[in-house]
Amino acid sequence: MVTETNPHFIEPSGSVYRLRHKREVLEVRPVIEWNKGKAVEFLLESLGLSKNDDFLPIFIGDDKTDEDAFKVLREKKQGFGILVSSVPKESNAFYSLRDPSEVKKFLKTLVKWRKMEDSTSH
């Protein structure tokens, strides 16, 4: 957790970085048109997975900034977004989980499923 800002890291005029205070976090972002959706697109393209039917991207997030990634996956019909929220919200995510403990349970289930798939394919 960031408790204070380093005075040597103040955002100067014309800087290539943008500081954003959010909850108890200080985000440092480049000053370019970039969001989590563009990051997902970039990763899928650069890893050669954007047209791979054997790959299922899953993006799990709990923040408004995650909506860009959910939207990209929904529009491309490639993968699923999962919103983590204890209250119902409008979202581009396909699914939702209530809290981090449900995320943990979901991920453990995926690992078990994958192990079963691997053992039956040999």
Which residues contact residue 81 at a Cβ distance below 8 angstroms, ignoring those fewer than 6 apart? 58, 59, 60, 61, 66, 69, 70, 71, 73, 74, 91, 92, 93, 94, 95
Domain boundaries, the chain: 54-120
Query: Residue 86's pLDDT is what?
Result: 97
Ranges of residues in the chain with a pLDDT under 70 are 1-16, 122
pLDDT at 101: 98
CB atoms within 10 A of CB 38: 14
Q: What torsion, rounded to 10 degrees, do the Cα atoms 21, 85, 68, 27 define?
A: 20
